[in-house]
Copies of this chain bind each other. A is one copy, B any other.
Amino acid sequence: MPPAQRHPTMADVAERAGVSASTVSRTLRGLSTVSPEVRARVERAARELNFAVSRQAASLVTGKTGVVAVLTPTLNSWFIGSAVSTLGPQLRAAGMDLLVYVTPDMTERADFFERLPARRNADALLVFSFDLTEEETARLDDLQMPVIYVSQHAEGCPSVYVDDVEGARRGTQHLLNLGHRRIAFFQTIGASGFAFSSNERLVGYQQALTEAGVPLDDDLVVAAPVADKRSIAEAVGELLSLRDAPTALFAEQDELAASVIWTLRKSRIDVPERLSVLGFDDHPIAEWSDLTTIAQSPEDIGRAAGELACSLVNDPDADPAQHVILPTRLIPRGSTVPLPDGGGEMGGGAAESGA
């Protein structure tokens, strides 16, 4: 019987089952080279002793830690929270643990990059931080382990992200199909570095307009910080006072779109009657605000990232620069309506409503 105040070891289990430690190890790892009866004895002994394998000891000899690390500025975000919440069970199913490095400000981040604690304590790193400097990225390149970029494209590195261009294109087409021709685009400024998606979405918007033969107009592209209601109100005001004011507005994110709607309603400007508003993300606020939006699924992204991590860790000849690009999906809600005099849906509309 093992000492009371200590965790039982394989030796304890071995003794109890009347076998050697090697056999216990083989049994518990499910190697088939163990006879059924011995296996049963070992499993019973392990259960009775409440034995759990020590990752620490195992990793010392295998060289694998059984841990996937996540680097993120925060967990308090719809997107990241959802993605990581999916990631956890996903990794667990593959027998891996999830270690989280939260670096809300520059101090913590600098510390992380200086010590890079992940390097010895994880088999792979998922990067949820969007605004890394070149220097930081370079540091990660030396990491001797798979580094996967989430929700951002990283040249030469594995990454997982949604097709922002295509999503924004489809969203803009939806507005075009509703008869809108003067469509504004509202960007965010200085967000926590979603810059990659931001640009892509603008590109998709421009593509759709160009394809439809609608001229681009710089006056229709405005920007403000998501949290700054004042700037948002001003930008919206400027748009509406244009000689040829927009009849629809595509906000780069749902939170921004919701702010716009809130601003407009406060000024007694009806949405969607006076201005159709389209968002991006399908953030919970979109449903609350009855906002038409282009949905991305953080859960799918988390799952894909987890799969990618596992495959890169376990399969030595997995493509080390694999990109997983996930689709988006238009969710029509009440904030976008046909342009009154414009003629309503002009084809393609029926297909969309299935979403």
* A45-62 vs B, Cβ < 8 Å mask (1 yes, 0 no): 000001011111101100
Q: Does A7 contact B (CB under 8 A)?
A: yes
CA distance A87 to B5 in the complex (A): 28
Q: B120 to A104, Cβ gap below 8 A?
A: no
Q: Which residues 199-255 of A sit at the B interface, judged by CB distance below 8 A?
A: none
CA distance A59 to B82 in the complex (A): 32
Q: List 21 A-B contacts (CB under 8 A).
A: A5-B144, A7-B144, A53-B120, A54-B121, A55-B121, A56-B57, A56-B60, A56-B65, A57-B60, A75-B80, A75-B84, A75-B85, A76-B78, A76-B81, A76-B85, A87-B102, A88-B104, A89-B104, A92-B101, A97-B117, A99-B100
Residue of B nearest to A81 (CB): B76
Copies in the complex: 2
Residues of B within 8 A of A119 (CB): 7, 52
The size of the chain A interface, using a CB distance under 8 A, is 47
Residue of B nearest to A122 (CB): B97
Interface-located stretch among A108-116, A169-177, A329-337: A108-116
* A10-38 vs B, Cβ < 8 Å mask (1 yes, 0 no): 00000000000000000000000000000
Residue of B nearest to A114 (CB): B47
